[in-house]
Chains A and B, each alone.
Chain A
Amino acid sequence: MHQTKIWVTVLKRTAVIIAAIIAFFPIYWLIATSFKPFEEWASWPPIWLTDNPTLQNYRIVFFPDMAREFATQQSGSLDYKVSGSAWKAFKGSAIISIVATFFSVTFGTLAAYSIVRFNTGGKNYPFQFLTVRMVPPIAVVVPMVVLFSILKLSDTYFGLILAYTAFTLPFSIWMIRSFIDDVPAELEGVAMIHGMTQLRAFLTVTLPLVKGGILSTALFIFILNWSEFLFALVLTAGNVVTVTLQVANYVSASSGKLYGVQAAMGTVSTLPVILFGYLIQRHIVRGLTFGAVKR
C-alpha cells in the first residue's frame, strides 16, 4: 500500500521464514540422518548433508538379514543385532490405527449427532467427555496395565484398539460435534417432512455435508494413533509391535542407539500418514473451512 511500509513486510516475511526453519528442521534432520553412514550419525561438528549417502539404514529396516550379510563383507561396517521386524511393526500399526480410528470416528459421529440433535446428557455432557483427556496418560498407565492383565487384553491387537478408541473418542466427539452443529436442523426437518425417517435424514442429508469434517477428524485421530508410544510400550510384550516400538528396538549392544536406522524407520513410517492425508486432501480443505463459513 505504502512504500514506507516495506520494512514491515520484510520483517514479517523474515519471521515467517524463521518459524518455518524451526518447524522443518527436525524433518530435514530425520531424512538427512537416514542416509548417513554410521560414522556420521552422531559426529561433531554435525554433518548437514552427507558426502557418502547410503541405503544401508533402509536395508537394515526392511531386510535385516541381507544387510547383516552385506555388512560382514564390508570391513569396518556396523555391527548390530535387531530385534523384531519392521514388516511386523507396520502390519501391527496399520491394523491398530485403522481399526481404532474407524471405531473412534464412528462412535464419535453417532455420539456427536445425539448430543447436537437430542441434547443427550444435558449441557455439560460434552465437557464430561473432555475430562478423559485432562488426565496425563502416564498417570493411568499403571491401572491400565493391571486392568488389561486381568481382562487378558495385554499384548493383543484388540486391547490396544480398545485403549486407543477410548482415548481418542473425546477428540472425535468434540470435532465432529462442531461440524454437525453447523448443519441447520431444518435441513433434516425438510427431509423428514418430505418422507424420511430421522435416521434416513441423518444418513442422506447430514452425513454427506459433514463428510469432509469427519475425514479431517479421522486423519487427526489416525496421526494420534499411529504415533502413540506410551500405551503401546506398556500394554504389549512382543506379540504385538507398532512402528513407534520398532523405532525403539533399533539399539545395538556395542554401538548404542542406531540413530541412522531409527531415522530411516522414522522416515518410512511418516509415509502412510502423508499418503492418507493426500488421499483425503480434497475433503480436508472443505472440512476445515466448512465451519468458518457464515450460514
Chain B
Amino acid sequence: MNQLAVEELDVTFDDKRVLAEAEFGVKEGEFFCVVGPTNAGKSTLLKTIAGLVQPAKGTVTIKGRNVTNTQPKDRNVSLLFQNMALFPNLTGFENIAFPLRTAGTKESTIRDRVVELAEMLKVTHVLERLPRTFSGGEQQRVAIGRSIVKQTDLLMLDEPLTNLDARIRASLRIEFKEIHKKLGQTLIYVTHDQVEAMSMSDRIAVLHEGEFQQIGTPEEIYKKPANRFVAEFIGQPPMNILAAQMYHNDGVSGIEIAGLRFPVPGIKQINDYNILQDKLAIGVRPEDINVSASSSLGTPHHADILWVEHLGSKSILDLRFGGITLRVKVTPDNPIAKGKSAWFGFEPKPDHLLNYQTNMFYK
C-alpha cells in the first residue's frame, strides 16, 4: 500500500489553476523527489498535502486514511519550508523541541530526544542561541531537526538546500541521504535542481506549469524522457534536440540531420512509429556523441568547434555543422578540446525520436 496517494488533485488561486490533475503515490520509506522550475506548483503541492492549502478537487490519502478535509495538525505529516521558518524568538533547543512540546511530551524525553538529534545534526553548539545568530547551514540543520524530531507518516522538504553555498549544499545532500537511510522515513523532496533530484531520489516526478510530466526512477527519467521538457530539464548540459528526417537506403534506416546521415541499427519501419516526417526531431545526450581528431567509423562527420566550456571534471564542446549547434560532453584531458574542428558521430536512439509539434517522444 502507498504511504501517500494523491488523486486528481486540482488547486486554484484566484481562478488560476496552479496544480492540475496531480496524481501519484509514494511508497513507504521511499525518497520521492518533485522537481521542476520556479512556479511549477511544487510548494503548493506540499502545502496541499500538509493541509495548509485546500484543493478545489481531488483527494489526499495518507496511510489509507483520506485526509483531504482533515486539519493540518491531525495529518501526522512534517514539512520543512523553503525559508526554514525557524521561530525567531525561540532558541535552537526550543525550535527543535516545538513539535514535542505541542504534543505534550514529557520534559525528560524532550531533552533526551533533542540532544540526541542535535548531536546527529552537529548543532549541539547552537541549542542555547537564537536563530538570528545561526549560519545558513546551522539554520538548515535546526529546521531539519524540528521536522524530524517527532516520528511522522510523511516528511516533506521544500527546497531545503537553496540559498546555501555550493559547498554546504554538496555535503548536506549526502547528509539527507544518510538521514533518510537511518530513519527509514517516507520522504518527499522538492527542488528545482535536477542534480539534487537525480543524485538523491528513488523516484522523481517532473512538474511543469502545474502538470506532472513524468514519474519514474532517475534512470528511467534520464534514459527515456516522456517529452521534450523532461529531456531538456534533466541532464546538464541538456539533451540536444535537432530537427531530423528519416531515410531508408538499401535496408539501412536512419535519420538525416542537416544533410548528414546517422544510421540507426534496429530501427523499425517508419510506419511502425507513426512518424510524421516533417515534424521529426532527434534527441541526443551530450555524452553520447563521439568525437575524435580524425575521421573514423564512429566519427564520420566533420564540424567546427565553436566554443569550449572547461568545467573541470568535464569539458563541453559546442560543435557547429550545417547551421546547427551540438553540445558534446568530453573528458577534460581530451586533446580535441584544444582544436578548431573535430570529427563526430553518434548512434541515434529510437527512444529519442521526437515529434516537435506535440513535443512528445514517439513510442
Residues of chain A having any CB pair with chain B under 8 Å: 184, 186-187, 189-197, 205, 208-209, 295
Contacts and interface: CB of A to CB of B under 8 A. Distances in A.
21 contacts: A186-B81, A186-B83, A189-B47, A189-B81, A190-B85, A190-B87, A190-B98, A191-B102, A192-B51, A192-B72, A192-B73, A193-B50, A193-B51, A193-B52, A193-B77, A193-B78, A194-B73, A194-B78, A194-B98, A196-B102, A209-B89
Contacts of A208: 89
Nearest to B71: A197
A190 B73 contact: no
Contacts of A295: 83
B146 interface: yes
Contacts of A191: 98, 102
Contacts of B98: 190-191, 194
A188 to B, nearest CB: 9
Given A190-B81, A191-B102, 17 more contacts: A184-B83, A186-B85, A189-B47, A190-B79, A190-B85, A190-B87, A190-B146, A192-B71, A193-B72, A193-B79, A194-B73, A194-B78, A194-B98, A194-B99, A195-B102, A196-B73, A209-B88
A184 B89 CA distance: 13
B103 interface: yes
B150 interface: yes
Nearest to A208: B89
**Which of B89, B102, B146: most chain A Cβ within 10 A?**
B102
Contacts of B75: 193
A33 to B, nearest CB: 46
A34 B88 CA distance: 48
A189 B99 contact: no
A187 B89 CA distance: 11
Given A187-B87, A189-B50, A189-B52, A194 B81 contact: no
A189 B150 contact: no
Nearest to A209: B89
Contacts of A197: 71, 73
A195 B103 contact: yes
Nearest to A204: B102
A143 to B, nearest CB: 38
Contacts of B83: 184, 186, 295
Contacts of A205: 87
A20 to B, nearest CB: 34
Contacts of B87: 187, 190, 205
Contacts of A189: 47, 50, 52, 72, 79, 81, 85
A187 B99 contact: no
Best-buried of A187, A189, A193, A205 by chain B (most CB within 10 Å): A193
Q: Which 10 pairs across A and B sit closest by C-beta, in order of nearness?
A: A186-B85, A194-B99, A195-B102, A186-B81, A192-B72, A195-B73, A193-B72, A187-B85, A189-B52, A190-B85
Interface in B58-114: 71-73, 75, 77-79, 81, 83, 85, 87-89, 98-99, 102-103
A192 B89 CA distance: 17
A193 B73 contact: yes
A131 to B, nearest CB: 24
A252 B273 CA distance: 107
A186 B53 CA distance: 12
A76 to B, nearest CB: 64
Contacts of A196: 73, 102
Nearest to B95: A190
Nearest to A293: B132
Nearest to B158: A186
B52 A192 contact: yes
B110 to A, nearest CB: 13
B85 A184 contact: yes
Q: Which of A184, A191, A192, A194 lies at the interface centre, i.e. has the most chain B CB atoms within 10 A of its CB?
A: A194
A189 B50 CA distance: 9
Nearest to B85: A186
A71 B63 CA distance: 89
A208 B72 CA distance: 22
Contacts of B81: 184, 186, 189-190
A189 B98 CA distance: 13
* Most chain A CB inside 10 Å of its own CB: which residue of B72, B79, B89, B150: B72
A205 B72 CA distance: 16
Contacts of A195: 73, 99, 102-103
A195 B70 CA distance: 12
B71 to A, nearest CB: 7
A17 to B, nearest CB: 37
B148 to A, nearest CB: 12
Nearest to B149: A194
A194 B150 contact: yes
Nearest to B143: A190
A230 B252 CA distance: 98
